[in-house]
Amino acid sequence: MRIGIDLGGTKIEIIALGDGGEVLARRRVATPQGDYPATLAAVAGLVAAVEDELGQRGSVGVGMPGALSRRTGLVKNANSTCLIGQPLQGDLENLLGRPVRLANDANCFALSEAADGAAAGADVVFGVIIGTGVGGGIVVGGRVLEGPNAIAGEWGHNPLPLPSGADLPLPACYCGRAGCVETYLSGPGLAADHLRMAGAALSPAEIVAAAAAGEADCAATLARYADRLARALAGVINLLDPDVIVLGGGLSNIDALYDEVPRRWLPHVFSDGVSTRLVRAAHGDSSGVRGAAWLWPA
């Protein structure tokens, strides 16, 4: 049995998969905010509950925001900032009494969709999470590409290409830089842009619903969002030239993106045409947790 855990900013989800990938159990709890010991306890509690329910022990893979530093073994680059600088792998292994494999949550997402999801059969896949934060993962030939610095695919902390007009001034990012893709394309980034431009404090879901109902300011906010996403993904296409780009996370449910973004990215791609497909994740918000389970081979 493989156990996967998605350690997200708002929820922690666990899934247990059988040998054929069938779902044996699934649970989720709210992520303790800013509390590292409580986060560890929540993960251990979920594993214990699932193993008690199924009467068997499993391998454990964890998808997390950020990555483990190759230099120190501690968590770096996590938008769940209470994890930064913590020995997460060692702490979980001590609590669970077994080896634990950790990977960036976007890498887990990309692996799941490349294995048997929306990008199944594709050779080069770029997986994008646009939600509480923004992340990216790369799968080549069915294998996650991590890189010597454990940052392959960290697209959210590149600068937004060609900022001008409504993109300025550059928003500050938690990473210490300004103008990162994440500051524009995350859920909080979308809400902040609407507040700044339209003067209304709305959630991303409220903005999307109002735009669908014909509200002009919300429609304009989503148009800016689609244009920024197109510019940012054009840079990925120029560098990686993936067969498929898969969108996941809460903002991937904006239907208009799948027509608007490919229409808008062509002027920024160094080619006379773009064959890369932009698709919605087949496994929805379960992709990350499924990919974490598949960090362990059969």
Structure tokens at 109: 């997402």
pLDDT for 298 equals 62
Q: What is the pLDDT of residues 82-120, one digit of tens each?
A: 999 999 999 999 999 999 999 998 999 999 999 889 999
- Whose tokens are 């990162």? That residue is 180
Q: What is the pLDDT of residues 47-77, one digit of tens each?
A: 999 999 999 999 999 999 888 999 999 999 8
Fold of 2-107+286-293: Nucleotidyltransferase; domain 5 (3.30.420)
Which pairs with CB-CB distance under 8 Å and at least 24 residues apart come from 71-77? 76/150, 77/151, 77/154, 77/157, 77/175
Output the average pLDDT for the chain.
94
Residue 139 pLDDT > 70 = yes
Beta bridge partners of 62: 5, 102
CA dist., res. 76 & res. 156, Å (int): 14
- Tell me which architecture the domain covering 121-281 has in CATH: 2-Layer Sandwich (3.30)
For CATH 3.30.420.40, the residue range(s) in the chain are 2-107+286-293, 121-281
Count CB atoms within 10 A of the CB of residue 255: 11
pLDDT for 66 equals 85
Question: Residue 224, exposed/middle/buried by CB under 10 A (0-12, 13-18, 19+)?
Answer: middle
Q: What is the pLDDT of residues 154-205, one digit of tens each?
A: 999 999 999 999 999 999 998 899 999 999 999 999 999 999 999 999 999 9
CA dist., res. 17 & res. 172, Å (int): 40
CB-CB contact of 151 with 77 (8 Å): yes
Run of H or E including 46: helix 36-54
Residue 124 pLDDT > 70 = yes
pTM score: 0.87
CB-CB contact of 15 with 293 (8 Å): yes
